[in-house]
Amino acid sequence: MKHSEFWSRMDQQFGRGYARVWADSHVMSVLGGRTASQALEDGEQPKTVWRAIHETLGLPASER
């Protein structure tokens, strides 16, 4: 997954205006106590970060 696809999925899930706010502010234990933005900045693959978001929110398998 490319960063552009990651952000497209985030926009679909949260809305374009809120996706970055959520990614910057929601700390997830599955990412080692980091936000999605921090994890991406630290070099985590977008697919790994998306899976963590998917798990945290309990999204349906179809959105994986």
Output the average pLDDT for the chain. Answer: 92
Tokens of 50: 């998306």
| Residue 36 predicted with pLDDT over 90 | yes
Q: Is residue 58 helix, strand or coil?
A: coil
What's the pLDDT band for 23 if we cut at 50, 70, 90? Answer: very high
Q: Is residue 33 helix, strand or coil?
A: coil
User: Residue range 1-11: average pLDDT?
Assistant: 95
CB atoms within 10 A of CB 58: 6
| Residue 27 predicted with pLDDT over 80 | yes
